[in-house]
Chain A
Amino acid sequence: MRDREIIIGGLILFLGLITFPVWYNAAAGTTSKGPEPKLPAEEKNCVAPVAYMRISHMELLTTWRDEVVRQHNRKFVAFDGKTHTMSLTQTCMKCHTSKADFCDRCHDYAGVKPYCWDCHIDPKLVPLTSTSPHPEGTREREG
């Protein structure tokens, strides 16, 4: 065939481009790497068995939310008999101290953005307080 070199060269270039995701990820080592949340060092038991928490922690948190806010009941007895206060920041974050090293690892991998943190404060963020002045200036609150 005519222009054999151009055709073969073009085919090789096309194959290289089309398999870009495969060889790039292999080279960067990012394939087959699942999320690695950092587990707490001291506590071995969560408030529920690990298998349940892995699948249904959101259900548990929703139940906790409704119990605390709607029934004003904060006492939770875990599967191992220990009593806990139902609170994300005060109980869960006691052991899973870093949102970035624990919660975000799986959430980023799965591409989910739970909106808990719109309101509930990640304890690690506390030193950051408002220092930016309001564009219209400040005014003493009345009284």
Chain B
Amino acid sequence: MSIDRRTFLGVAGLSALAIAGKASLAALAKSGQGVVTAESAPATRWAMVVDPRKCLKDEGCTDCIAACDKAHNVPHFPEPAHEVKWIWKEPFDKAFPEQGSLYTAEAFRDRPILVLCNHCDNPPCVRVCPTKATWKRDDGIVMMDWHRCIGCKYCIVACPYGSRSFNFFDPRPRIKELNPDFPTRTIGVVEKCNFCEERLAKGQRPACVEACREKALVFGNLNDPASEVRELLRTRYTIRRKPELGTNPEIYYLV
């Protein structure tokens, strides 16, 4: 039979669409699923629960801050514009701006709350980093690679919690006690809490959690239903910092 070119091309195109169309429709349908099934959920999802009431028993206590600074060679700069901090205390209405009132409970009003990097599930700092010097690990930790950080400070702009600090000066002279087991950073990079990932790799808990004498910091695996953090989250009401922003922070505060 004789068939002209136009008809042939038309038939060929329709056949290709029929074959490929079904596969692409199926792929499109699957990508819409946001559900995390048991097979796809990662084995570990680190999170922390802070109990401010236990923490504030001794207001002058800075055990966790001192432990973190020592373990990670965090430099100390006295002026607030240059300070470098991984874990620190914020007044309640700065830490939870949407949740206070004139009559905030006395246990929290006028007293500082311990804050650190929230290792958000949807971290804005990761989205804006131009070099992927900060990224989200599969175990939930928002990690930093100080070899790659170019110091643009975009992540500092993006973080709504003020968790990140920039090294405006050479940090080495400003470190109280050098810990040889952890590197320092150089001038010109951004740093923040890393959930003690180097300690987690050795099976130890983060330095702040271990140092707290009141056991106010509880650290654990959210994907393990039997972990202490899950137990606390199941039985107690918790709040998080600025949840309305959609960052999904993973530091929970017991109230």
Contacts and interface: CB of A to CB of B under 8 A. Distances in A.
A3 interface: no
Interface residues of B, number: 35
Interface in B170-190: 172-181, 183-186
Interface of B: 62, 65, 73, 76-80, 83, 85, 88-89, 112, 137, 139, 143, 145-147, 172-181, 183-186, 197, 201
Contacts, number: 68
B243 to A, nearest CB: 24
Interface of A: 65, 69-70, 72, 74, 89-90, 118-121, 123, 125-126, 128-130, 132, 134, 136-139, 141-143
A90 B183 CA distance: 11
A143 B121 CA distance: 28
A130 B62 contact: no
B184 A119 contact: yes
Contacts of A128: 178
Interface of chain A, main secondary structure: loop
A65 B177 CA distance: 25
A129 B180 contact: no
Contacts of A139: 78-79
Given A69-B147, A70-B145, A142-B88, A130 B173 contact: yes
Nearest to B138: A72
A70 B136 CA distance: 10
Contacts of B137: 72
Contact of A141 (B65, B139, B175, B177): B65
A129 B112 contact: no
Kindly list the 5 A-B residue pairs having the minimum CB-CB distance in the complex, ordered from nearest: A143-B89, A119-B183, A139-B78, A120-B183, A121-B180
A119 B201 CA distance: 20
